[in-house]
Structure 1
């Protein structure tokens, strides 16, 4: 369904559920309604948004040496504008703020790729789900690309540089058991994409360490019948509000944000493990289970304890939540351990054990 628009670009309809069309969009200064997106290997753009958000989709022919472009505008603002290199027929994907109070996702195709705008339709498939099939798009060389959690299942991840992710599958055989299918846990690997978090000794990046550990924790919990959602499954940036929104909308049993600490490179004497919670006593107990288990696999590093903190992701979540700092990437004791795959496996087992112990003893 096309309507008259300025020359060279067109707006095509976002065909949503009837409920979506009757409700207002988000306030202008709200966090972005875009919570997660993926461009699949078969040429389908999938989106998860705030419930009942209003979207607008646009098409522009190739011109001035630039390929055909399709973009979608969402209410609310992202924190970090960014660019991601595409695959196959897709040259680049960009996320930005075209105006105050808005988010724009642009898919730019390589020169020579032609699409028929009359065949493009952004469909609402649920109050928070959307789909756009790029009919006629060559799929050779396409690969899944995205940000945020659409399916709740981890995907392949290749970190940059010398960092080697853990390849040996973690063994869940010694973990505590819980009732299968009863619990949902959100695992939040901190940072990602243009925000690598702390960078420490020998260039060790927090984003790589925490994603590797988080994906192993997810695998271990799933082996025990726990449903797990990850706020990111690759080296991509996800704003803080979508991380919280994912947890709150999923009615999760608990939320665990995984980080690594840092200080000045001149203070390599500072090491240690600490776990934060906001105020809820249940969150305090969750943090205690996690802290105990991580200390058990980190001999010789200081126990910095369980502490109150006001971090956004544990302050805004409505379920028990904790933020774990697994050691200092700038610490002479912690950094060499965090750089080793075998120690990251031990950390993953410790975190999974702490979570399962919490579920067994605190959740009824």
Structure 2
């Protein structure tokens, strides 16, 4: 929630947000763990758990230039001033009062700012960003600590941790013993059964089939024997999918689906992974869930759960059913309609599978 207040001296943007996470601060009791002001004028922050952020902007006066600052709970051990460049005069980290930390960005005169358009956005449970300005001239980033970058902010002409120019990067995936493992990937629905229908006519059957084919390619490049329950739009019941996996005696079975909410509520988004029983199934589900969350910052974590879906209940091997987002949700649908995000999801599922296989040996 954001509120804007006007007075003779300043306009103030206040944001009060409470989130849970498990991050620890960097050599300090302050809730601020790391920060970076990149060369596009975007400030990114990493905080620890249950953080209450308060952000402000003040117009220049006779003493200071335009200033933006954020207050964090917890006291900073080492106040300091960092010289800026481009439109930034300096960045200060201090203790405005006992038990508090303040990150101040002071701008040079004549910097074109539009504070009424600023929004502090939560990227996930402990990461935040705000676009402060658009550089007119070259600007070098300023940072302390490590702020993990959101994949959706990587420009098309840049290399990403998950996506390269060729579409994806199998070289960064974990290695497993060649030709030892057999995996069945099950794209849900198909043919006359399109599954969930989302915003803009997005069809579950199309999305999960595309993701499954990319997973097949990525795992095959790592020496895993991969079979798909379907490779095109065909009508395939649940029992044949299970029989197929049981017949070839696969090591694991992964069914890929996309969600839809009742009433097609656009505010409901999130990722979840189901297993039927057993520690192996749970481990596989946890590995995949962790990775798909990493490539979908901001999408709620709906958790790893036990489920009684036919395809994971009746398979003989460890099996999971992964829901890669809500096609009816505003956030998830906007991502899943893009091929680049489907590739990221496929990479994440592949990585989760390979990490599981590397653990069970």
The 2-side partners of 1:244 and 1:280 are apart by 18
* Residue 205 (1) aligns with residue 209 (2): no
Distance apart, 1:235 and its partner CA: 1.1
Alignment of 1:31-50 (within 5 A): none
Alignment of 1:149-228 (within 5 A): 169-228=167-226
SS in 1 for 2:341: helix
Distance apart, 1:173 and its partner CA: 1.1
1:23-51 residue CA offsets vs partner (Å, 9 max, x unmatched)? xxxxxxxxxxxxxxxxxxxxxxxxxxxxx
Distance apart, 1:171 and its partner CA: 2.3
The 2-side partners of 1:204 and 1:325 are apart by 15
The 1-side partners of 2:263 and 2:340 are apart by 24
SS in 2 for 1:333: helix
The 2-side partners of 1:274 and 1:253 are apart by 22
The 1-side partners of 2:234 and 2:304 are apart by 29
SS in 1 for 2:258: strand
Partner of 2:271: 273
The 2-side partners of 1:341 and 1:308 are apart by 30
Distance apart, 1:265 and its partner CA: 5.0
The 2-side partners of 1:265 and 1:196 are apart by 18
Compared with structure 1, are the counterparts of its residues 179 and 193 closer, same or farther at alpha carbon in structure 2 (3 Å cutoff)? Answer: same
Contact kept, 8 Å, 2:274 with 2:322, in 1: the verdict is yes
Distance apart, 1:237 and its partner CA: 1.4
Q: CA RMSD in A?
A: 1.2
Contact kept, 8 Å, 1:264 with 1:330, in 2: the verdict is no
Partner of 1:92: none
Partner of 2:282: 284
* Residue 298 (1) aligns with residue 301 (2): no
SS in 2 for 1:207: helix
Q: 4+ runs of 1 displaced by more than 3 Å?
A: none
1:252-280 residue CA offsets vs partner (Å, 9 max, x unmatched)? 01000000000135411000000000112
The 1-side partners of 2:166 and 2:215 are apart by 13
SS in 1 for 2:330: coil
Partner of 2:352: 354
Distance apart, 1:236 and its partner CA: 1.1
Distance apart, 1:185 and its partner CA: 0.3
2:315 to 311, 314, 317: 317
Distance apart, 1:168 and its partner CA: 5.1
The 1-side partners of 2:245 and 2:193 are apart by 21
Contact kept, 8 Å, 1:182 with 1:226, in 2: the verdict is yes
Compared with structure 1, are the counterparts of its residues 222 and 244 closer, same or farther at alpha carbon in structure 2 (3 Å cutoff)? Answer: same
2:253 to 255, 263, 269: 255
Contact kept, 8 Å, 2:264 with 2:329, in 1: the verdict is no
Which stretch has the larger CA shift, 259-268 or 317-326? 259-268
Distance apart, 1:312 and its partner CA: 0.2
The 2-side partners of 1:279 and 1:183 are apart by 21
The 2-side partners of 1:353 and 1:310 are apart by 25
The 2-side partners of 1:207 and 1:194 are apart by 10
1:236 to 210, 234, 237: 234
Distance apart, 1:169 and its partner CA: 4.1
Compared with structure 1, are the counterparts of its residues 168 and 339 closer, same or farther at alpha carbon in structure 2 (3 Å cutoff)? Answer: farther
Partner of 2:333: 335
Distance apart, 1:281 and its partner CA: 1.6
Contact kept, 8 Å, 1:200 with 1:265, in 2: the verdict is no
The 2-side partners of 1:299 and 1:181 are apart by 34
The 1-side partners of 2:181 and 2:240 are apart by 21
Contact kept, 8 Å, 1:201 with 1:265, in 2: the verdict is no
Structure 1 unaligned segments of length 5 or more: list them.
1-166
Q: With structure 2 as the length reference, what TM-score do the two structures score?
A: 0.54
1:95-139 residue CA offsets vs partner (Å, 9 max, x unmatched)? xxxxxxxxxxxxxxxxxxxxxxxxxxxxxxxxxxxxxxxxxxxxx
SS in 2 for 1:304: strand
